């Protein structure tokens, strides 16, 4: 077992409060990129795997498939998506990742290390917001480096499209008429949620991070609090993450009647266990509309 894999296995179990654990890697443009280690299943030697295609593939973002642990895993062209691909690009490793209960592989030039990053150090990106969810500065080998944290939900959406039927999803539940609040930093996940919820007729507000949502709650009077039927929070967010949102709501008596559901693309069972231990009333797989709507219906009441 490599030191990097061992570190992933050890740190992915800790779920440190106020800390995002980021695997930093490089592509062929020389920049440093990051992904939450809770989403990483393995790091594999690139040359051990042969990519195969079939005649139905007509998508430049889907390079093909590899066989990993007796399963067929799609290989996504991360550098094509970032528009930095050239024929001379070289890859030494695959990141094997789990998102929304689906496994995918990304070819990369190489993994750098795993870093514990305080969520207060995660900032909204100064460059292309279409591919990045935030950026941060990490000290590596005595130098401060900018690390670009990718919006993988958007990559999956751009590769596979919107795999849902809005009207079917909206018909999953009957609602109480109360308001739904959502904290979500991925613009792609926000748009998917908006599309589903517009069909349902629910009164909802989406916030860019947990701090915006809790500030909104704290400004409400008692009558306003009674109108909130459910809070849904992403876990990975700058400024205030989903764990902090859960604690903020569950530790205040005035919010005692508000259920909180966690919306996440992380497949690590430890993530779910920690969310439930903090008082989460439900867990939702990101971009799964039927689960999304059925959970809302169950928690907001009929």
CATH code, domain carrying 174:
3.40.50.2300
Q: How far apart are CA 248 and CA 280, in angstroms?
A: 12
How many distinct helices (H) and strands (E) make up the chain?
A: 10, 15
Of 233, 215, 226, the closest CA to residue 281 belongs to 233
Same-domain pairing of 184 and 155: no
Neighbours of 223 (CB within 10 A): 7
Same-domain pairing of 12 and 103: yes
Q: Which helix (H) or strand (E) holds 23?
A: strand 19-26
The CATH number of whichever domain residue 149 belongs to comes to: 2.40.50.180
Residue range 4-15, pLDDT digits in tens: 545 444 444 444
Mean pLDDT of the chain: 83
Same-domain pairing of 177 and 151: no
Q: Please, are residues 296 and 180 in contact by the beta-carbon 8 Å criterion?
A: yes
Residues with Cβ within 8 Å of 143's Cβ and at least 6 positions away in sequence, in order, are none
Per-residue confidence (pLDDT) for residue 48, from 0 to 100? 95
Q: Of the residues 115, 143, 159, which one is the last residue of a structural domain? A: 159
Same-domain pairing of 127 and 39: yes
Residues with Cβ within 8 Å of 236's Cβ and at least 6 positions away in sequence, in order, are 20, 36, 185, 242, 264, 266
Same-domain pairing of 227 and 91: no
* Structural domain harbouring 77: 3-159
Q: How far apart are CA 47 and CA 40, in angstroms?
A: 19
Per-residue confidence (pLDDT) for residue 15, from 0 to 100? 46
Residue range 229-257, pLDDT digits in tens: 999 999 888 888 898 999 999 999 999 88
Same-domain pairing of 185 and 100: no
Same-domain pairing of 133 and 168: no
Domains: count for the chain:
2
Task: Tell me the mean pLDDT in the region 77-99.
Answer: 93
25 has which bridge partners?
A: 33, 111
* Reported pTM: 0.71
Q: Of the residues 91, 126, 159, which one is the last residue of a structural domain? A: 159
Same-domain pairing of 43 and 169: no
Same-domain pairing of 102 and 224: no
Same-domain pairing of 138 and 241: no
Task: Tell me the mean pLDDT in the region 265-292.
Answer: 74
Same-domain pairing of 17 and 79: yes
Same-domain pairing of 32 and 137: yes
What's the pLDDT band for 167 if we cut at 50, 70, 90? very low
Measure Cα distances from 265 to 98, 114, 157, 286 in Å.
8, 20, 13, 5
Q: Of the residues 110, 130, 159, which one is the last residue of a structural domain? A: 159
Per-residue confidence (pLDDT) for residue 265, from 0 to 100? 67
Residue range 147-164, pLDDT digits in tens: 999 988 888 888 887 554
127 compared with 292, residue with greater pLDDT: 292
User: What residue ranges in 129-279 does DSSP mark as E strands?
Assistant: 132-140, 143-150, 179-183, 203-207, 228-234, 260-264
């Amino acid at each position: 077992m490599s030191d990097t894999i061992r570190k992933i296995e050890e740190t992915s179990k800790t779920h440190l409060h106020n800390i995002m654990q980021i695997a930093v890697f490089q592509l062929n443009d020389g920049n440093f990129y990051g992904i939450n280690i809770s989403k990483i299943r393995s790091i594999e030697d690139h040359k051990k795997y042969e990519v195969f295609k079939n005649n139905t593939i007509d998508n430049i973002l889907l390079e093909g498939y590899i066989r990993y642990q007796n399963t067929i895993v799609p290989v996504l062209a991360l550098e094509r998506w970032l528009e930095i691909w050239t024929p001379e690009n070289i890859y030494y490793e695959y990141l094997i990742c789990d998102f929304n209960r689906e496994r995918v592989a990304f070819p990369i030039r190489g993994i750098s290390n795993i870093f514990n990053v305080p969520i207060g150090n995660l900032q909204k990106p100064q460059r292309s917001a279409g591919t990045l969810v935030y950026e941060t500065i990490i000290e590596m080998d005595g130098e401060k480096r900018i690390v670009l944290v990718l919006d993988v939900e958007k990559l999956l959406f751009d590769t596979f499209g919107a795999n849902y039927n809005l009207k079917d999803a909206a018909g999953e539940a009957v609602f109480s008429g109360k308001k739904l609040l959502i904290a979500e930093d991925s613009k792609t996940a926000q748009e998917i949620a908006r599309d589903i919820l517009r069909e349902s007729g629910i009164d909802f507000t989406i916030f860019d991070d947990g701090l915006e949502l809790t500030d909104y709650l704290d400004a409400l009077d008692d009558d306003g609090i009674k109108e909130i039927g459910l809070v849904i929070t992403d876990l990975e967010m700058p400024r205030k993450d989903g764990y902090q949102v859960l604690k903020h709501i569950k530790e205040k008596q005035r919010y005692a009647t508000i259920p909180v559901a966690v919306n996440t693309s992380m497949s690590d069972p430890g993530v779910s266990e920690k969310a439930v231990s903090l008082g989460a009333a439900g867990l939702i797989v990101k971009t799964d509309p039927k689960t999304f709507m059925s959970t809302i219906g169950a928690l907001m009441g009929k």
